[in-house]
Amino acid sequence: MTQNYENLIAAVDAIRGDVEKAEKGNKAATSRVRKAMQQVKAIAQDIRKEMLELRDAGGAEGGD
């Protein structure tokens, strides 16, 4: 697994508690979740770039 993928998993796991609080109406938690989701988006974009580089370099053979 790539380091960015591990970072993505960690970011999602770290925000789990705030998502639960936000669902119960905690407004401060909703702000923290939105901020964390921006980070998740950025990490996901980095993963996308990595996968495109792998594809273009021929590193993802097999068609999966």
Q: What is the pLDDT of residue 63?
A: 57
Span 5-64, pLDDT tens digits: 999 999 999 999 999 999 999 999 999 999 999 999 999 999 999 999 999 998 655 555
Domain locations in the chain as residue ranges: 3-57
Q: What is the pLDDT of residue 14?
A: 95
Task: With CA atoms as reference, report the closest residue to 1 among 53, 63, 52, 51.
Answer: 51
Q: What is the pLDDT of residue 59?
A: 62
Alpha carbon of 20 to those of 1, 16, 30, 56, 64: distances in Å?
Answer: 28, 6, 10, 40, 35
